[in-house]
């Protein structure tokens, strides 16, 4: 049965990518997940799953899930976001209802914005934090709608799936996106970026700090230095959705123009907030636009005064924020900042080193082969020949561990992703990482793998 499922999975995954490519020119992402009943259709249109004997709805062994503090027992969520939450962050969300323009809430929002400056390591008063309801994707929309105008050129450095999406977002706003691609597992080299920057005048360059589809880490500091020396008019935009809070980022020192992220990854807060830090230079570029921002909800014309007012603890309204999520973010930021950031980054590096060593000891390879290309917040792991995500993910789930399936369209059925961020790494009372490594080993042995 495993074999049928595996073949069906590979066939359907590839067919889906192709069909979506043909019809829309864009891929629909359909990664395998153990928490979604896989609808693997065969030629007669019946699902492979429906041909199996009915499965008990609770497939998790009663003793498998961990008791995590005061949360109900549940499998450890070790996908590359959302991640496990600290109790206090979750409890912050059960705040009683309050007015979004009342002083207590405005004070909290103001503190969140000030604390974000610390998280991004900026003391430049011209830098501007934004926190807007939405997911990480809204960060791309904000960049494309506010910092470039239709007809402008954007250079998108590609290390996986998320660059394709950012480029698509630019095109949606009439901005011409040129992608500079690397082999899967690698990143564009600095000399290639330099060549691209000298060939055309780009208004903006984007780079994914950690591409969540490949686990590839980009070198932000050196890249930004290069852009500032070769093409000083080009804004440097970092997609930090899978990095902020786990990987080192020095907004001022590295002269970045935008770092965009979301609440649900290494920041350790529930999903629902688009978070950005924007440089004074980028704000000036926005203010000098010849055309209106090409979005209404995402327009900084609307949001800039609101964010400035909130930080000055003055009530202000453009669109209703989510007070409960802001309270959760307030709590997670205070927890993060209660220790040094260097300590936090070192803990993520150490957990990552341990995981990568265990993967190598198991005889497995990562998508990112060069150590300098390997993210500290996640690991993308090639499965042994002949084994696919549907073989191992359900078995991991039974052991109380949730990993993610592959996401890069060319190799989606050949690898899995292990997210290691936030409390799973920093809370010494948790055994998530140790348990995940042991469970992966056991699950592979169960499906016949011999290291
Ligand atoms: C690197 C990266 N960028 C952007 C996004 C989009 O974020 P969201 O799914 O929160 O919209 C993701 C999501 O996982 C991501 O990993």
pLDDT surpassing 70 at residue 425: yes
With the most atoms of ligand 1 within 8 angstroms of its CB, the residue from 81, 82, 136, 215 to mutate is: 136
Instruction: Locate the ligand 1 atom nearest the alpha carbon of residue 262 and give its number.
Output: 10
Residues 105 and 140 in one domain: yes
Q: Which two tokens stand for residue 407?
A: 């996401």
pLDDT surpassing 90 at residue 169: yes
Q: Check residue 2 and give its pLDDT.
A: 53
**Domain edge (last residue) among 303, 320, 337:** 337
- Give the pLDDT mean for 8-36: 53
pLDDT surpassing 60 at residue 21: no
- Give the pLDDT mean for 370-380: 98
CATH number at residue 117: 3.40.640.10
CB 213 within 8 A of CB 380: yes
**Domain edge (last residue) among 337, 365, 393:** 337
| Neighbour-count burial for 239-277, b at 16+ CB within 10 Å, e otherwise | bbbbbbbbbbbebeebebbbbbbbbbbbbbbbebbbbbb
* Domain count within the chain: 2
Residues 333 and 344 in one domain: no
The set of protein residues with a Cβ atom below 6 angstroms from ligand 1 is 81, 135-137, 162, 208, 211-212, 239, 241-242, 262
Q: Which two tokens stand for residue 121?
A: 């390591």
Residue nearest to atom 9 of ligand 1 (CA): 136
Residues 313-323: tens digit of each pLDDT: 999 999 999 99
pLDDT surpassing 90 at residue 28: no
Q: Check residue 34 and give its pLDDT.
A: 67
Residues 180 and 50 in one domain: no
Residue 230 lies in a domain: yes
pLDDT surpassing 90 at residue 49: no
What CA–CA distance (Å, rounded) separates 150 from 314? 34
Residue 451 lies in a domain: no
Please indicate whether residue 331 or residue 38 has the higher confidence score (pLDDT). 331
Instruction: Locate the ligand 1 atom nearest the alpha carbon of residue 240 and give its number.
Output: 1
- Give the pLDDT mean for 404-410: 94
Residue nearest to atom 5 of ligand 1 (CA): 136
Residue nearest to atom 3 of ligand 1 (CA): 241
- Give the pLDDT mean for 283-311: 98
Helix axes 300-311, 103-119, angle to 10 degrees: 100
Q: Check residue 69 and give its pLDDT.
A: 78
CATH number at residue 396: 3.90.1150.10
Compute the distance from residue 138 Cα to the ligand 1 centre, in Å.
9
**Domain edge (last residue) among 308, 337, 366:** 337
Host domain of residue 98: 88-337
SS (H, E, C) 279-304: CHHHHHHHHCCCCCCCCCCCCHHHHH
Q: Which two tokens stand for residue 294?
A: 């090409």
Residue nearest to atom 8 of ligand 1 (CA): 136
Compute the distance from residue 247 Cα to the ligand 1 centre, in Å.
16
With the most atoms of ligand 1 within 8 angstroms of its CB, the residue from 137, 165, 206 to mutate is: 137
CA atoms within 13 A on the CB side of 227: 27
Going by their DSSP bridges, the two strands 235-239 and 216-217 should be labelled as unpaired
Does this model's pTM top 0.85?
yes
Instruction: Locate the ligand 1 atom nearest the alpha carbon of residue 208 and give its number.
Output: 1
pLDDT surpassing 80 at residue 350: yes
Residue 114: closest CA among 327, 318, 312, 348: 312
Residue 293 lies in a domain: yes
In angstroms, how far is CA 152 from the centroid of its own chain?
26
Instruction: Locate the ligand 1 atom nearest the alpha carbon of residue 140 and give its number.
Output: 4
Q: Check residue 451 and give its pLDDT.
A: 78
Residues 223-237: tens digit of each pLDDT: 999 999 999 999 999
pLDDT surpassing 60 at residue 44: no
């Amino acid at each position: 049965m495993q074999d049928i499922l595996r073949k069906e999975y590979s066939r359907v995954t590839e067919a889906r990518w192709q069909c979506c490519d043909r019809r829309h020119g864009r891929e629909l992402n359909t990664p395998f997940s153990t928490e979604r009943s896989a609808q693997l259709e065969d030629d007669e249109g019946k699902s492979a799953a429906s041909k199996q004997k009915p499965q008990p709805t609770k497939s998790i062994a009663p003793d498998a899930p961990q008791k995590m503090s005061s949360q109900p027992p549940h499998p450890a969520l070790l996908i590359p976001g959302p991640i496990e939450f600290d109790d206090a962050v979750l409890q912050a969300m059960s705040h009683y209802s309050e007015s979004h323009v009342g002083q207590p809430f405005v004070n909290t929002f103001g503190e969140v914005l000030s604390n974000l400056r610390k998280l991004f390591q900026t003391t430049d008063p011209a830098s501007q934090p934004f926190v807007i309801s939405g997911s990480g994707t809204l960060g791309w929309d904000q960049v494309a709608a506010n910092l470039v105008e239709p007809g402008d050129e954007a250079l998108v450095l590609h290390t996986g799936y998320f660059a394709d999406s950012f480029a698509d977002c630019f095109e949606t706003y009439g901005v011409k996106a040129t992608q500079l691609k690397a082999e899967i597992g690698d990143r564009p080299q600095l000399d290639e970026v330099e060549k691209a920057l000298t060939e055309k005048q780009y208004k903006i360059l984007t780079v994914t700090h950690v591409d969540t589809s490949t686990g590839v880490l980009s070198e932000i500091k050196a890249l930004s230095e290069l852009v500032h020396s070769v093409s000083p008019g080009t804004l440097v935009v970092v997609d930090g959705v899978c990095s902020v809070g786990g990987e080192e980022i020095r907004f001022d020192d590295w002269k970045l123009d935008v770092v965009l992220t979301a609440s649900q990854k290494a920041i350790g807060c529930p999903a629902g907030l688009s978070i950005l830090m924007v440089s004074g230079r980028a704000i000036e570029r926005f203010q000098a636009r010849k055309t209106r921002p090409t979005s209404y909800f995402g327009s900084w014309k609307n949001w800039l005064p609101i964010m400035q007012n909130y930080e000055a603890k003055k009530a202000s309204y453009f669109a209703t924020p989510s007070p409960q999520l802001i309270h959760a973010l307030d709590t997670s930021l205070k927890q993060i900042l209660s220790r040094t950031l260097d300590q936090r980054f070192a803990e993520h590096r150490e957990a990552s080193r341990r995981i990568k060593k265990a993967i190598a000891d198991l005889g497995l390879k990562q998508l990112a082969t060069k150590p300098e290309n390997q993210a500290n917040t996640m690991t993308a792991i090639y499965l042994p020949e002949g084994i696919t995500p549907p073989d191992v993910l359900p078995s991991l789930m039974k052991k109380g561990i949730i990993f993610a399936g592959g996401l890069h369209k060319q190799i989606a059925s050949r690898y899995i992703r292990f997210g290691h961020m936030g409390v799973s790494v920093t809370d010494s009372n948790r055994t998530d990482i140790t348990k995940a490594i042991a469970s992966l080993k056991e699950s592979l042995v169960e499906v016949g793998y011999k290291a």
